[in-house]
Amino acid sequence: MTNGKTSERLYQDVARSLVEELAAGRFPVGTRLPAERELALRFDVSRPTVREAMIALEVQGFVEVRLGSGAYVLRLPNEGDRPGFDVSAFELTEARLLFEGEAAALAATQITDEELTEVARLVDDIAQENNDPAGTERADREFHLAIARATRNSAIYNAIEQLWDLRQTSPEAALLHSKARTANVKPVVEEHCAVLDALRSRDANAARAAMRAHLAAVLDGLLFATEEQALAQARRATQAKRERYTRATA
């Protein structure tokens, strides 16, 4: 109706149209959406399809469905909810550098001996599985998440975990990450050891510095991996990025 874009699934079209109407301010927070039967007529689909779209909105926290009453707007979509949201590997690693650096600093003041042995075990894990790329990735993730968990702050842990999940949302980013990792397995282990040592001594500043150094190295690996397959035109853009990220790291 209002939009010609058609995806494979009808309920996605309906849900997307409704989200667009929400974003456009058509239905302010607290107001009631049209009835399912009415929406079925408006979109020219069956009621089960409208219900499927409704559940998609409900799961995303946009609306609350009340039996016998209707669907009421809970919140409006914001940037992150819009489609086409994928972060580059650079943005992702920059964010991790800043956030995980602070998380490591906080973790250094909170970590228990048990958690230290757990982190140490994960450092060994990544050293062992240097053959299997999938195992290495998993061990790396667990290492970083264990430190985030040691902050005893679920908001911090959740945010960092979501940054790792973001890697999967973009195939190119995931590929770039794995490519950048293969060449730098041994340095990664050493950098992880440095972080572990700082945590052991409960030195917040050292932990922050070690974590930032590690992720700065990852960032360098990404830049190198990009350059390897880049044209001269892309090389200029990379150079600009390098300037920016080295500035941010300093």
Nearer residue to DNA within complex by CB, 33 or 123 = 33
Query: What whole-number distance in Å separates Cα of residue 57 and Cα of residue 65?
Result: 10
Near its own copies in 163-222, by CB under 8 A:
163, 165-166, 168
- Binding of its own copies at residue 106 (CB under 8 A)? yes
Query: What DSSP string runs through 106-147?
Result: HHHHH--HHHHHHHHHHHHHHHHTSS-HHHHHHHHHHHHHHH
Q: Which does 99 bind (CB under 5 to 8 A by kind): DNA, its own copies, none?
A: its own copies
Cβ–Cβ under 8 Å, residues 71 and 18: no
Q: Are 237 and 219 in contact (CB under 8 A)?
A: no
Q: How far is 182 from 57, CA to CA, in rounded Å?
A: 40
Comparison of 68 and 84: residue with beta carbon closer to DNA = 68
Q: Which tokens sit at 236?
A: 């200029």
What is the C-alpha R_g of the chain? Answer: 23
Closest by CA to 216, choosing from 78, 82, 101, is: 101
**First-to-last CA distance in the chain?**
53
Note whether 59 binds its own copies by CB under 8 A.
yes
| Contacts of DNA in 12-71 (CB under 7 A) | 33, 35-38, 44-49, 51-52, 54, 65-71
Here's the x/- map for its own copies, 62-81, by CB under 8 A: it reads as -----x-------x--xxx-
Minimum Å gap between C-beta 186 and its own copies is 27
Nearest to 219 by CA among 131, 135, 100: 100
Residue 1 CB, shortest distance to DNA, in Å, is 13
Binding site for its own copies (CB under 8 A): 8, 11, 48, 51-52, 55-56, 59-60, 67, 75, 78-80, 85, 87, 91-92, 94-95, 98-99, 101-103, 106, 109-110, 153-159, 161-163, 165-166, 168, 244, 247-248
Binding site for DNA (CB under 7 A): 8-11, 33, 35-38, 44-49, 51-52, 54, 65-71
